[in-house]
A and B are shown apart, each in its own frame.
Chain A
Amino acid sequence: GEDVEQSLFLSVREGDSSVINCTYTDSSSTYLYWYKQEPGAGLQLLTYIFSNMDMKQDQRLTVLLNKKDKHLSLRIADTQTGDSAIYFCAESPGGYQKVTFGTGTKLQVIP
């Protein structure tokens, strides 16, 4: 079945870049997502990438995809204290099908 793995915790200083990594197993994954969850809140879609892309940039966010290694990363430039949250990597085959989430990486930003 599908499996999405992430490291559990990342700590960075304010102003530095954060890189959150993810690996997935399902070769039929078409869409790969990054979601952000703040304490006590639901999930907010930050960005997504199609499996036929290598990179996507959206303001401070850069997503890199290595399809051969099934490795996805999210880089947050100039990390701010407001970026402190749990970040979930997720994948789906596309369409209306279910999304499979990783366990989440808790990002702590030190002022």
Chain B
Amino acid sequence: NAGVMQNPRHLVRRRGQEARLRCSPMKGHSHVYWYRQLPEEGLKFMVYLQKENIIDESGMPKERFSAEFPKEGPSILRIQQVVRGDSAAYFCASSSSTSGGGVYEQYFGPGTRLTVT
């Protein structure tokens, strides 16, 4: 059973370009979370999605950032007009529709490291 897949693993963009980060959740998981990790910091929650719905986007910057999780295909985190401050590792996590003893464990992907030059 493959884990959470993210691609690309490394992405380099020039200022002003668009970055598209993809996340395929674990098989059978319908809940996806995106987190951002700035250098030397912990992970910060960005957005929580279920299929075709954004459930909680309280951690998403108001401009330039968007996320989707379509009925078919991976979840996409899109950053328009990237700036140097967007350079970070972006992690996706997924969880199952059923919990193990009440713990809705989030399984993390390996992350996409975005570098803005």
Contact = CB atoms under 8 A, between A and B. Distances in A.
A and B: real partners? yes
Interface in B1-29: 4
B31 A43 contact: no
A40 B107 CA distance: 16
B105 A45 contact: yes
Given A31-B103, A42-B111, A101 B43 contact: yes
A106 B111 CA distance: 19
Nearest to B109: A42
Contacts, number: 56
Given A42-B91, A97-B56, A103 B41 contact: yes
Nearest to A8: B40
Interface stretch (A10-18, A62-70, A76-84, A88-96): A88-96
Enumerate the 4 nearest inter-chain pairs by beta-carbon distance, A residue then B residue, closest first.
A42-B108, A101-B42, A98-B45, A43-B108
A23 interface: no
B55 A42 contact: no
Interface string A30-43: 01000100001111
A81 B44 CA distance: 28
A108 interface: no
Contact of A99 (B40, B45, B55): B45
Nearest to B105: A45
Given A41-B110, A104-B42, A98 B103 contact: no
A109 B49 CA distance: 38
A100 B105 CA distance: 13
A25 interface: no
B117 interface: no
